[in-house]
Structure 1
Amino acid sequence: MSGIRAATDTEQGADTTARSLTPAPTIAGLRNAPWGVTALAVVVGAGAGVGSVVFRWCIKTFTRLLSGRTDYSAAPGASNPHIPWLGPYFVLLVPVIGGLLYGPLVNRFAKEARGHGVPEVMLAVAQRGGRISPKVAVVKTLASALTIGSGGSVGREGPIVQIGSALGSTLGRVTKATESRTKLLVACGAAGGIAATFNAPLAGVFFAMELILGTFSAEAFGATVLASVTASIIGRASFGDVAFLTLPAFHVAHVAQYGLFALLGVVAAVVGMGFARFLYLIEDACDWLWRGPEWLRPAVGGLALGLVLLALPEMYGVGYPVLEKATEGGYAVGFLLLLLAGKMLATSLTIGIGGSGGVFAPSLFIGAMLGSAYGIGVHDLIPGTAGAVGAYALIGMGATFAGAARAPITAVVILFELTGEYSIILPLMLAIVLATATSRLLSRDTIYTLKLRRRGIDLEGPVPGAAIGTQHVGTVMEPLPSLLPATTALADAADLLSLSGHGALPVVDGTGEYVGVVTAQAVAEALAEQPDAAPRTIAQLAAPPAPVTPEQPLAQALHALLSASGTGVPVLDAERGKPVGWLSHQSALRAVHATT
């Protein structure tokens, strides 16, 4: 009996030892497993979805508490049922009360929660390894909900992007994810927040990739889609499967309308960039005027915001009911232009005094007012051709946002998701592309990057204090390797490339003009083709990489170097466009070694 017990004990001990040797699921396993990013994206999406539900609830609660209504802009000028004896004058006090609540909160716990949020997330991804403090999610939720609930004329996309991104960054830090994966989780949080808040899952994906990551890849697309879908499921379970705006049906009645939409796209770009400039002009004025403690600034500035709300109560909060009425043709041209100017002032003032909220919804609002006024004008001039006013309001919304943020894909997708009509795509794409191109001609910055550049931060430049990036290309470039004539045969080019050690060589035509670079990979692939299909010379294989000049900062040139095939790129004379040197990965690394 004792032998049986001893054997049993031995088996149990062996089993215990085996179990202890079996690798259990760990945080490291989740981080490094091929399916790890999938699981993390779903978790971030779920967190962003729950965060959006809480955020929306906070906005409604504070708005109802401070104005007595779910959305005061739906009944502008009405009295507050909590204090009816004040009549419409209660709007003078509400921004002050809100400022007294969120001002100390932001100043004490998370100063980065001030403003519209998206630039801070872009900076975190571009230069800070995706690191965002977890307390930002809580502070941003409360501060933005208090700002909007107390009459602040801002949107909710900036806050929810920052909230979702903070959740993604926190999860990345908890799981000790790599920097690239942490950045991806930040983008997943942004995508989930946009998707759940606006019931626009596709827009969430493209917002994250176009504005937050600034790049497209299969892994990033898959992860952001998972996060967006997960957040959308939670959002639809809470808010219903309806768009956050009710917009009129869209159709193009006459082919000449495309010309009118194109002109509207150009005008909207000017207005969008004008809004960006005006926003920071008012912020500068507020900075210049205020001399007191920062925590008190929103309350004192709330007096000025209250005067704007008293004169134009439609500016209270986000203002979606006013936007919807404008798309339905409910306002005259003069009042539409007044609402446009009023939104610019109210939003700029809300941000300038230290409020917390986004500029995406104000951009849509301004675009709707512009488009409606434009539509009424062309309808009066050419009534048989112009078509419905609501169509111009929709196009104006997308084009103004594209002009301000320079995110054309996001603008197209979100307007398509709002309307659900495929007929909007052609005129929308036309207007938005023209708005984006016009905006790029007017300014190198967007409404998001301009905030950072004013603080001396260039997202495309080196991180402050970085060992690389401040040098100019001309100081680190190598001598130019041998130039290949475009008439060089493939076999000869293969020999020359193998001897050069560069993996790529510049190519010139018969007159000595630079035409591009040919890589060893391109030549090898061409030689592997069928004899009849392969080109005889390298002329067809030469392709110019992104231009690099000697005066260009090394940090900017690295983008061209990393995206180019081969091991380097030619450095071109800025005036003549001829190769004068060679920038390789080795020369860039030597620049790092020389400064460390």
Structure 2
Amino acid sequence: MQRLHNANVLIPSSMTAVTRHPFFRSPRSMLVALSLVIGAGAGLGAVVFRWMIEGLTHLFTGFADYAGQGSVPNPEVPWLGRWFVVLTPVVAGLLYGPLVHRFAREARGHGVPEVMLAVARNGGRIRPQVAVVKALASALCIGGGGSVGREGPIVQIGSALGSSLAQLCRLDERRIKLLVACGAAGGIAATFNAPLAGVFFAMEIILRGWEAESFGMVVLSSVTASVIGRGILGDNPFLTLPAFHVDHLVQYPLFALLGVVAGLVGVAFSRILYAVEDACDWAWRGPEWLRPAVGGVLLGLVLLVMPQMYGVGYPVLGHAVAGGYAIAFLLALLVGKIVACSLTIGIGGSGGVFAPSLFCGAMLGAAFGEIVQTVAPSAGGSVGAYALIGMGAVFAGAARAPITAVVILFELTGEYSIILPLMLGVVLATGVSHLVSRDTVYTRKLLRRGIDIDAEADGRAGPDRPGRLAATIAPLPGSVPDRRDLRSVADRFAGVDGAHLLVVDAEGRAVGWVREHEVEAALRREDAVSTTASRAGAERAVPPACAANG
């Protein structure tokens, strides 16, 4: 066995022999091979993850997808009536709460911010167990009624696979980050059956930049994942959408107005999401592993009132796009999804916010279309057209990823006629989001921890720039004394929402930053009681940049 440099991973000698093969001596050849392997793994992971969700949903409810069934009892326990939905989030929380708390706390929440942080600050390094824990926790959460999406989890699952293989092959940080993006692209591509959307999601949100080599490798991974997903699940989009067409030029100002409103709704979705999480943090005083189960009672009561919020909710979304709901009910579904999704994340659930933003957009757009139909039935156009524009625009307002928003709706419909109105609505939603908010639904989670992943672009201080901190800093909630033993340091991470802790000396001066995964690696090597954060050394507990500046 041979130890991997800077990653604390043991590499089998057989793996080392493989990487010495002449084919792998070319970095580009190795990247091509790994991108294909990661794409295949992400594609299979997306398929298995979908099967897990469907199986657990059937186990909890008696149906493969309960959201479209209405207030019906579980046929396996009919004596509970429709009240069984109050229990399913509690039972699921009792299972995934301890799992996440014990093995991978970064699997809590919607996942994409953790991947963005790993790429921007941690050299793309993601622990291998994250993939397994995230898959199990998210499948249990969604199957048990969590009103979140499967896209965020599969991004984190695919990214963890890409990171693990890259570290196993002893690649540098730039290529580790690239293969993380390959895993994310493959996961999105296989989940949505949308290879282009996978590519642009990875480039626009994960890598946050464009390079020819990166683009090529991400495309290979995305295509591979799509081929595998289509081969197993069939060549069908995850959602059947109506034909799209623009009947009158007067519709373009209406699409523009919808884009503006959708941008505001996207920002509101992000703000409410984190406001509810703050409220849950303030209210909860018990152990973190028990939080999803206790909070599951509140989520169950929401599902009792509005069972359409159970799980991802694609059947409800499809029915709304087809014009099957009245205006008042569409608005109720919009508010209900924001509340149910925010509560799921707030109580410690695991799942994505991509699909909920599309759901909210569809409800908003369909309601807007119904209003237009009432006012101008001859010139308004179809309700489905507005629902589609709303889907892309609300996501763009929340995530500020306009290219991804346009591409994914284009792939779902397969109609070129959607491009012009969709671009109009999406760009206006993105612009409104920029005007009223400096963050997105993904970056806001990091900014709340004091982490600005854009800091390098403008020179602001961040976790990798402790030398720019003030000379004296009072101990913060996210700080730890430099003489604290490693076991206590590891326990300290349980009380903070972040992957870093500020290390301070006896006088309260900042001496560096310690990262959770580095503390865990040190615990595997050292005496957890006698070794302190200081004795662990800069090369073990504090990043080299911190050691140099501290």
Same fold (TM over 0.5): yes
Other-structure match for 1:406: 400
How has the CA–CA distance of structure 1 residues 469 and 209 changed in structure 2, closer, same or farther, with 3 Å as cutoff?
farther
How has the CA–CA distance of structure 1 residues 468 and 183 changed in structure 2, closer, same or farther, with 3 Å as cutoff?
farther
Q: Contact 2:44–2:225 at 8 Å: present in 1 too?
A: yes
1:356 and 2:355 matched: no
Q: Contact 1:31–1:175 at 8 Å: present in 2 too?
A: no
1:35 and 2:34 matched: no
Please point out which of 422, 428, 432 is paired with 2:426: 432
Matches within 5 A, 1:81-230: 81-230=75-224
* Distance in structure 2 (CA, Å) of the matches to 1:408 and 1:283: 26
Deviation at 1:466, TM superposition (A): 2.9
Q: What is the DSSP-based 3-state SS (H/G/I as helix, E as strand, rest coil) of the residue aligned with 2:28?
A: coil
* Distance in structure 2 (CA, Å) of the matches to 1:242 and 1:592: 50
Please point out which of 19, 23, 37 is paired with 1:26: 19
Matches within 5 A, 1:478-517: none
Other-structure match for 1:335: 329
Deviation at 1:468, TM superposition (A): 6.2
Deviation at 1:243, TM superposition (A): 0.2
Deviation at 1:26, TM superposition (A): 2.5
Deviation at 1:378, TM superposition (A): 1.2
Other-structure match for 2:260: 266
Aligned residues: 455
* Distance in structure 1 (CA, Å) of the matches to 2:18 and 2:446: 41
Other-structure match for 2:541: none
Matches within 5 A, 1:288-367: 288-367=282-361
* Distance in structure 1 (CA, Å) of the matches to 2:466 and 2:57: 49
Deviation at 1:122, TM superposition (A): 0.3
1:76 is matched by which residue type in structure 2? G
2:440 is matched by which residue type in structure 1? T
* Distance in structure 1 (CA, Å) of the matches to 2:59 and 2:220: 36
Q: Contact 2:19–2:169 at 8 Å: present in 1 too?
A: no
2:19 is matched by which residue type in structure 1? T
Other-structure match for 2:481: none
Q: Contact 2:197–2:407 at 8 Å: present in 1 too?
A: yes
Q: Contact 1:279–1:347 at 8 Å: present in 2 too?
A: yes
Unaligned runs of 5+ in 2: 1-15, 456-460, 471-544
Other-structure match for 1:498: none
* Distance in structure 1 (CA, Å) of the matches to 2:17 and 2:448: 50
Q: Contact 1:127–1:463 at 8 Å: present in 2 too?
A: no
Unaligned runs of 5+ in 1: 1-22, 472-590
Other-structure match for 1:464: 463
1:443 and 2:437 matched: yes
Q: Contact 1:153–1:318 at 8 Å: present in 2 too?
A: yes
Deviation at 1:56, TM superposition (A): 0.7
2:443 is matched by which residue type in structure 1? T
Deviation at 1:85, TM superposition (A): 1.0
> Cα RMSD (Å) of the superposition?
1.8
1:250 is matched by which residue type in structure 2? F
Deviation at 1:33, TM superposition (A): 3.1
* Distance in structure 2 (CA, Å) of the matches to 1:87 and 1:594: 64
Please point out which of 262, 280, 288 is paired with 1:286: 280
How far does the alpha carbon of each residue in 1:301-329 deviate from its partner, in whole angstroms, 9 at most, with x for none? Answer: 00000000000000000000000000111
Identify which range, 183-192 or 35-44, moves more after superposition: 35-44
2:101 is matched by which residue type in structure 1? N
How has the CA–CA distance of structure 1 residues 51 and 594 changed in structure 2, closer, same or farther, with 3 Å as cutoff?
closer
How far does the alpha carbon of each residue in 1:272-302 deviate from its partner, in whole angstroms, 9 at most, with x for none? Answer: 1000000001000101111000010000000
Other-structure match for 1:12: none
Q: Contact 1:27–1:175 at 8 Å: present in 2 too?
A: no
* Distance in structure 2 (CA, Å) of the matches to 1:295 and 1:25: 41
Matches within 5 A, 1:1-20: none
How has the CA–CA distance of structure 1 residues 25 and 313 changed in structure 2, closer, same or farther, with 3 Å as cutoff?
closer
* Distance in structure 1 (CA, Å) of the matches to 2:286 and 2:27: 53
1:420 is matched by which residue type in structure 2? G
Structure number with greater Rg is: 1
Q: What is the DSSP-based 3-state SS (H/G/I as helix, E as strand, rest coil) of the residue aligned with 1:93?
A: helix
1:67 and 2:45 matched: no
How has the CA–CA distance of structure 1 residues 255 and 162 changed in structure 2, closer, same or farther, with 3 Å as cutoff?
same
Other-structure match for 1:17: none
Deviation at 1:25, TM superposition (A): 5.0
Other-structure match for 2:389: 395
Q: Contact 1:155–1:358 at 8 Å: present in 2 too?
A: yes
With structure 1 as the length reference, what TM-score do the two structures score?
A: 0.75
Matches within 5 A, 1:537-548: none
How has the CA–CA distance of structure 1 residues 307 and 44 changed in structure 2, closer, same or farther, with 3 Å as cutoff?
same
Deviation at 1:382, TM superposition (A): 1.6
Other-structure match for 2:368: 374
Q: What is the DSSP-based 3-state SS (H/G/I as helix, E as strand, rest coil) of the residue aligned with 1:288?
A: helix
Q: Contact 2:121–2:464 at 8 Å: present in 1 too?
A: no
Deviation at 1:63, TM superposition (A): 0.3
* Distance in structure 1 (CA, Å) of the matches to 2:25 and 2:124: 16
Other-structure match for 2:226: 232
Please point out which of 417, 439, 446 is paired with 2:411: 417
How far does the alpha carbon of each residue in 1:218-239 deviate from its partner, in whole angstroms, 9 at most, with x for none? Answer: 1011000000011011100111
How far does the alpha carbon of each residue in 1:51-81 deviate from its partner, in whole angstroms, 9 at most, with x for none? Answer: 1111111101100000100000120211101
With structure 2 as the length reference, what TM-score do the two structures score?
A: 0.81
Deviation at 1:34, TM superposition (A): 2.8
How far does the alpha carbon of each residue in 1:343-379 deviate from its partner, in whole angstroms, 9 at most, with x for none? Answer: 0000000000000000000000000000000001111
How far does the alpha carbon of each residue in 1:221-272 deviate from its partner, in whole angstroms, 9 at most, with x for none? Answer: 1000000011011100111000000011100000010100000000000001
* Distance in structure 1 (CA, Å) of the matches to 2:548 and 2:110: 40
2:331 is matched by which residue type in structure 1? L
* Distance in structure 2 (CA, Å) of the matches to 1:202 and 1:454: 31
